[in-house]
Amino acid sequence: MQKQQNRQKLLHIKEIVSGSIEKRREEIIELAKSLVRIPSENIPPGGNEFASQKFICNFFTESGIESKLIDLTSISELSRHEAYYQGRDYTGRPNVIARYPGSGGGRSLLFSGHIDTMPVGDNKWSFPPFGADISNGRLYGRGAYDMKSGITAMMMAMKTIKECGIRLRGDLLFESVVDEEHAGCNGTLANRLIGFNADGVILPEPSNLKLYIAHKGFRIVHLSLKGKSGISFAGEELSNPVEYIGSLIECLKAFRKKRREAAPVPDIYKYDPDPVPVMLPKLQAGEFSLRIPMQIPFECKLEVYWQTMPGESQQEIEKDFFDFLDEWQKNNNLLPRDIVLEHNFSHRWIPGTGIDRNHPLVRVTKSVAEECLDTEVTVTGAPFPCDLFIFNLYGNMPGVILGPSGGNAHAADEFVYVEDIIKLTKIFSSLALRWCEL
C-alpha cells in the first residue's frame, strides 16, 4: 500500500515538473543560446572559459541554489596527482560547482558537463559560430552540440526542481568543468580531489538520446621521419623523408588490419563495425611558401590516432604498436640509414571504461528516459573517448552518458536539435526525482 502511494506521489510530482518545463520552453532555449554566444574555446595550454563559468555561477545564485567558482591553481594536490596532465595553464579558468542539498538518507546525483569547446577552426561556417542561430529546428554554434545544450538541460532541471518546491532526500549536484577537450580532463579530476563526489554521475556528451554506459580509450602519437634538408647541386645523395612516408602509411594500414582482427571487443561494442579504428588525421612536410628555400624537407610528420577498448592498458597498447612498427621495419627495409624515425605523444593516454549493464544507475536512467521519450532507449558504448574514466577510476563514481541529437561536433556548423534540449531537461529532472528520492 505504501509503495503504491509513493509511486502515485512520484508520478504526480513528475507531472508537475514536466508541466513546469513545458512552460519554461522559451527560457530553456534562451539559456542555451546565451551559453553558445559566450566563447569558451580551449586552446592549450590556456583556455577562454571564464566568462561562461561566471555566467553559470550567477545563474545558480540568482536561482537560490548555492554555487561557487573553484580556482584550480589553489588545489595543491592536483598537479601532483598521477592522472594530472602536464603542460596546462589554469589561470583564470575556474570550475563551477552547485549543490541543492537533500534532506538526508537518499542517493546523491551529480550532473557533470564541460564548458570548454574546440576552437572554431579555419573551416567555412554557414552560420556565425557564436551567433546561436536557430534554423529548421536546429540551434547552430560552437559548443551547441558538445555540450552546452546538455549543460543547459542540467541547469534547468535543477532550477525547476528547486522552484517547484520539491525536496529530495539525496543531494543534487552540478559541475561545469574546464579543459576536457584536447584530452585535458584536469578540470574533472580537480573536483574529485576536493571531494565533490556523488553516488552516481551523468554526462550529457552527444549521444543522440542513446544511453552510453562505456566509452573508448585512445592514444595519439606523432611519427617523424627526419633526414637532411637541402638540394643536390654537386651530386650529393639526399634521402627525402617524403618519399618514405608511403611505406610508413602501408605499415600503419597493416597495423589497423591487425587491430581489427585481434583487439578484444566487449559485448557492449559488438554493434560497431570498426570498434578499434586506426586513423591518420594529419600529414605535414615542408611549407608552400616562397619564404622557404627550394629544398628537400628535413622532416615529414604523420599523426596516428587509434582507439582502444575498455580493459586494454596503456602498456599493452604502446607495446603492441611499437613491436609491430619494429617488426615491419625489419621485414620490409622500411627506411634507409640516413632517415631516422622518431615519435612523441601529443595527448594524454585515455583508457576505455564502463560500468555493468545491470548497475542501478543504468537501470534507473534507462527507465526514466524511456518514460519521458515514450520509446525504447538503446544501451550501448560511446564511439568516442571522454572524461568519464576520471569518475570511474579516480572518483569511485559510477557514471553514464546521455545527451542530445545533433551533428558536426568539432566541425563547422555544429548544431543541436532544439527539441532535444527540452527532452533532456525532462529526463534529467525525472532522473533526479527517482535517483535521489523524494
Q: How far apart are CA 243 and CA 249, in angstroms?
A: 11
C-alpha cell at 250: 602501408
C-alpha cell at 267: 559485448
Query: In this predicted structure, what is the pLDDT of residue 395?
Result: 87
Q: Peptide bond before 397: cis, by omega within 30 degrees of 0? A: no
Q: How far apart are CA 265 and CA 231, in angstroms?
A: 49
Query: In this predicted structure, what is the pLDDT of residue 337?
Result: 81
User: Do residues 341 and 252 make contact, with C-beta atoms less than 8 angstroms apart?
Assistant: no
User: 219 - beta bridge partners?
Assistant: 306
Query: In angstroms, how far is CA 158 from the centroid of its own chain?
Result: 22
Query: In this predicted structure, what is the pLDDT of residue 131?
Result: 98
Helical axes 50-62 vs 25-37, angle rounded to 10°? 150
C-alpha cell at 129: 559560430
User: Do residues 88 and 150 make contact, with C-beta atoms less than 8 angstroms apart?
Assistant: no
pLDDT averaged per 10 residues in sequence order, the chain, 438 residues: 69 87 97 98 97 98 98 97 96 98 96 98 94 98 98 98 96 98 96 97 98 97 88 70 92 96 94 95 89 83 97 96 92 83 94 96 98 97 96 94 97 98 98 95
- CATH class of the 2-215+352-436 domain in this structure: alpha beta
Q: How far apart are CA 333 and CA 1, in angstroms?
A: 78
Query: In this predicted structure, what is the pLDDT of residue 232?
Result: 64
Query: Longest Cα pair distance anywhere in the chain, in angstroms?
Result: 97
Domain locations along the chain = 2-215+352-436, 217-345
Which positions ≥6 away from 241 have C-beta within 8 Å? 225, 226, 227, 285, 296, 297, 298, 299, 300, 339
Query: In this predicted structure, what is the pLDDT of residue 368?
Result: 97
Report the topology of domain 217-345: Alpha-Beta Plaits (3.30.70)
Query: In this predicted structure, what is the pLDDT of residue 250?
Result: 94
Quote the pTM value: 0.93
Q: How far apart are CA 296 and CA 107, in angstroms?
A: 64
